[in-house]
Chain A
C-alpha cells in the first residue's frame, strides 16, 4: 500500500514554544491530508482537513491559530502547534488518500507524540 511518513515521531518542548510536525506521502500525491489527535486510550479525533494549495478546514472547537496547517505541495502537509502548553501534549496522526482510483482507503503516518513541559 501507499506510504505516509510523519516526522518527528516524538518531540519534547518547553511551554510557550512552537513545534512543527511533517506529514509526507512518499509514493503518491495527496490532494487532501487529515490531521487527527488522539488522547491515551481514546479514539482519533479529526482536527482538520488539509487541502493542497488552499486553507485548511478545521473541525468545530479546534483553534486555527493554535494549530497551523500548511499543505504547500501534493506530498507534504505540516502541522505547527504554536505557543504550546502542557494541555497540547498528545499523539498527533496524519492520514492521506491517493488521488488515483479510489479504494476509499486512507493511509496513516506513524504518529507524533508531543510532550510539552
Chain B
C-alpha cells in the first residue's frame, strides 16, 4: 500500500522569507503523480503544484517549487517570498498513474503541515 508521510505538523515562516515543507512517500509503482494541496480556513482544497514521476525536472509554479528525489522517494515543497495568504494546511498527496477511473486511481494524502506566516 502506498503511504505518504509529512513529518512536520507545523511550520512557521516570516513574511518574504523562504520555507520548505517535507514529504516522503512509499510505493512500488514506477509511474505516478505527486501533488501539494493547500487547504486554507475555508477548507477548499487548492492544487499548488503537480509533479509527474517520469519527469526528472522539478515542477515550479511562480513562488512554489518542488525538490523531487525519486530514488529517495522525497517530494519537498519550497515557498519563496512567503505571503500572509500562504498560511494554510498543506497536504502532500500521491496518486498512481493507472488511468483515471476506479479505486486504483485514488489519491493518498499525508497528515498535513500547518504553515504560519508571521510579519
Contact = CB atoms under 8 A, between A and B. Distances in A.
A88 interface: no
Interface stretch (B11-19, B64-72, B77-85, B109-117): B109-117
Interface stretch (A15-23, A43-51, A75-83): A43-51
A43 B110 contact: yes
The interface residues of chain A, by DSSP majority, are classed as loop
Contact of B107 (A1, A31, A51, A106): A106
A100 to B, nearest CB: 8
B102 A105 contact: no
A38 B37 CA distance: 15
A65 B52 CA distance: 37
B103 to A, nearest CB: 4
A110 B95 contact: no
A27 B100 CA distance: 17
A105 B109 contact: no
A109 to B, nearest CB: 9
Contacts of A41: 114
A58 B110 CA distance: 20
B44 A110 contact: yes
B118 interface: no
Nearest to A48: B103
B56 interface: no
Given A104-B50, A105-B50, A108-B45, A44 B105 contact: no
Given A32-B102, A43-B110, A111-B43, 16 more contacts: A32-B101, A32-B103, A34-B106, A34-B107, A42-B111, A46-B108, A49-B102, A49-B103, A57-B103, A95-B45, A98-B100, A102-B99, A105-B35, A106-B95, A110-B43, A110-B44
Interface of B: 33, 35, 42-45, 47, 50, 52, 91, 95, 97, 99-103, 105-112, 114
Interface of A: 1, 31-32, 34, 38, 41-44, 46, 49, 51, 57, 91, 93, 95, 97-99, 102-106, 108, 110-111
